[in-house]
Amino acid sequence: MAITKQKGDIAEAYVVYFLKQHGFNVLIPWGEDNRYDIVSERNGIFKRIQVKYATPKNGAIEIRLRSCNNYKVMHYSTNDVDIIAVYSPKPDKIYFVPLNCVKNRSICKLRLRPAKNNQKKFIVPALKYEFRFDLLKK
């Protein structure tokens, strides 16, 4: 099994575990050709979730908002996915990022610490999406 596949499996298992811990039902689609990895449900509200594994680098977590196969690169859209759940092994946290908050991008960076150049504009603090289970209830 490829390392990237192992990381994806770890991230999915971790996210499912935390969702169950917080009272969500979790549905796992059959097959590999779905744009989302899991679906959460609570009180009749369903959210399609794409799960990503991302290791921090230079004070930020980079989320790739696309998937690739041998033939093409496919960007996620709000027609396919509601939430990107990012599992980061360091600092061992999950970030729930609504896809509609990062429109028209192929990469989103969540800052774990301030930028070295003190840039504030266009900076997305990771804390804003850390363990945001409430985003799955709306």
Pairing mode, strands 124-125 and 107-111: parallel
95 token code pair = 């970030």
* Tally of CA atoms within 13 A in the half-sphere of 6 that contains its CB: 3
- Split into its structural domains, the chain has a count of 1
For residues 28 and 120, the model is more confident at 28
The type of residue at 109 is K
What's the pLDDT at 103? 62
Tell me phi and psi for residue 115, to 5 degrees: -65, 145
Identify the pLDDT of residue 70. 65
The residue with tokens 């609504």 is 98
Average pLDDT, the chain: 88
Q: Which residue has the higher pLDDT, 7 or 65?
A: 7
CATH number of the domain encompassing residue 89? 3.40.1350.10
Spatial separation of the C-alpha atoms in residues 107 and 57, rounded to whole Å? 14
The model's pLDDT over 85-94, given as tens digits with 9 standing for 90+, comes to 999 998 889 9
* pLDDT tens profile 98-129: 988 876 578 888 999 887 787 777 778 899 99
Q: Which domain holds residue 88?
A: 3-136
Quote the pLDDT of residue 10. 94
Tokens standing for 6? 């192992």
Summarize the confidence of residues 46-58 as an average pLDDT. 94
Bridge partners (DSSP) listed for residue 124: 110
- Answer whether 76's CB lies under 8 Å from 66's CB: yes
Q: Pseudo-torsion of CA 18, 22, 27, 29, nearest 10°?
A: -30
pLDDT at 43 over 90: yes
Pick the more confident residue, 103 or 57.
57
Predicted TM-score (pTM) of this structure: 0.89
Cα atoms in the Cβ-side hemisphere of radius 13 Å centred on 30: 0
CA atoms of 59 and 125, how far apart (whole Å): 10
